[in-house]
Amino acid sequence: MTDFPHTPPRQSWTFSNDVNAEIRRAAATGIYDIRGGGSKRRLPHFDDLLFLGASISRYPLEGYREKCATDVWLGTRHARTPIHLDIPVTIAGMSFGALSGPAKEALGRGATEAGTSTTTGDGGMTEEERGHSRTLVYQYLPSRYGMNPDDLRRADAIEIVVGQGAKPGGGGMLLGQKISDRVAAMRNLPKGIDQRSACRHPDWTGPDDLEIKILELREITDWDKPIYVKIGGARPYYDTALAVKAGADVVVLDGMQGGTAATQDVFIENVGMPILACIPQAVKALQDLGMHREVQLIVSGGIRSGADVAKALALGADAVAIGTAALIALGDNDPALEAEYNKLGTTAGAYDDWHEGRDPAGITTQDPALYGRFDPVLGGRRLKNYLKVMTLEAQTIARACGKSHLHNLEPEDLCALTLEAAAMAGVPLAGTNWIPGRNGF
């Protein structure tokens, strides 16, 4: 018998081990995979952009000596009381229900100490977040859980949520295991049942209706509060233009890396666009309407560092929002809890079953035994530190580009490492003057 060389085992790219595991899981359970967080796939992102820095043609600013301002105004178009934040990094909307009360308190503490805003979520406004947030944005969602005029008036801004990056065009579902007595009471539903959040608002459809809805909210609040409109990264040029037409003071644009408390994995990974591709489209819409900087743009979805902040602002955003990164700063997915993550069949860094309410970090849970572990004061301090670091990082880059304000960063400060990033961001491929898609090329 001749010993011929055997063909080595070869795994399929199409039917990878991960894909096969999901097929087996679906076959065994008969239900799609639901998880929290945003897209986990490799996407063109801010990592694919670089700053050029100063040179002979650009004059840098001295670090630690020459001023690089970081403040931002939001809602200057129509509101009597626009918002003024010390830093352009805000905390994105996350619901009480999805998050524990102490986690919401920590977000408020950290944001306030860092000089920025927090945002409510689907489920209404809690005393924890109102009491600990100097500046609180109140989300107006299709479900209208907990919606009432008193909270509208004690908010600092109102954010009409049309969509979010993790699931543009989708609603939500808070599973029964997270519906405690308190969550149920706030949402006016029985305890322990799944709570659906509709994908469309119940009393308006389309941009013309939205204009009237905004009018109503302005009238209820006597034109005092800035009104944001939040959109998922789907058709950012047109959605931004329509939001502006409808009267928005601020457009919040969330790319597909943006997290969610619970959505189908197939939705998270296959619907929407990465934030890098969305920002230039939204900025162009604002510029075409002559509203860039008059209507402010907040972008979110995968913002992790001061470099990401600086790149988003250089592309034309006025501010960013963070969600997942803020939770990590609080202690989510901390390797110190590895043994407990292992018991849940996962590992630190990969834990995303936030909807199950068994978070060992006490952040995405309504179990008193679990959220009792979480210290909101310590969590707030960690978030403040993180926000400060992001701001310092962004300032470091801006000074190197010769900018005395983060808002002075511009696309000309950037180049791209990949063709995809160059085309999406509208900046030249590194070492060339080539912007794919421009000038016929």
Partner 1 sequence: MQVFDLEAQGLRALNATLHGLSGQTNETAWEIVNPRGSHAIAVGVDAPVDITVRGSTGYYCAGMNKQATIRVKGSAGPGVAENMMSGTVIIDGDASQYAGATGRGGLLVIKGNASSRCGISMKGIDIVVHGNIGHMSAFMAQSGSLVVLGNAGEALGDSLYEARLFVRGSVKSLGADCIEKEMRPEHLLLLADLLKRGEADHLAKPGEFRRYGSARKLYTFNIDNAAAY
Q: In the complex, which residues of this chain contact partner 1 (CB under 8 A)? A: 29-31, 143-144, 147-149, 152, 173, 175-176, 188-190, 193-194, 196, 198, 202-204, 209, 212-213, 215-216, 219-223
**3-state class of 250 per DSSP?**
strand
- C-beta closer to partner 1: residue 54 or 173: 173
Residue 152 C-beta: closest distance to partner 1, Å? 8
Residue 146 C-beta: closest distance to partner 1, Å? 9
Say how far apart CA 267 and CA 199 lie, in whole Å: 13
Residue 220 C-beta: closest distance to partner 1, Å? 3
Strand locations in 216-318 (E): 227-232, 250-254, 263-264, 296-300
- C-beta closer to partner 1: residue 14 or 29: 29
Q: Which helix (H) or strand (E) holds 159?
A: strand 157-161
Residue 155 C-beta: closest distance to partner 1, Å? 13
Q: How many beta carbons lie within 10 A of that of residue 366, not counting itself?
A: 22
- C-beta closer to partner 1: residue 98 or 330: 98
Residue 157 C-beta: closest distance to partner 1, Å? 17
- C-beta closer to partner 1: residue 36 or 102: 36
- Alpha-carbon distances of 346 from 147, 352, 396, 424, rounded to whole Å: 36, 9, 37, 34
- C-beta closer to partner 1: residue 184 or 344: 184
Say how many CA atoms lie within 13 Å of 187 toward its Cβ.
29
Residue 139 C-beta: closest distance to partner 1, Å? 14
Say how far apart CA 187 and CA 273 lie, in whole Å: 31
In contact, 397 and 49? CB cutoff 8 Å:
no
- C-beta closer to partner 1: residue 247 or 376: 247
Residue 96 Cα to chain centre, angstroms: 16
The residue written with tokens 């459809």 in the block is 205
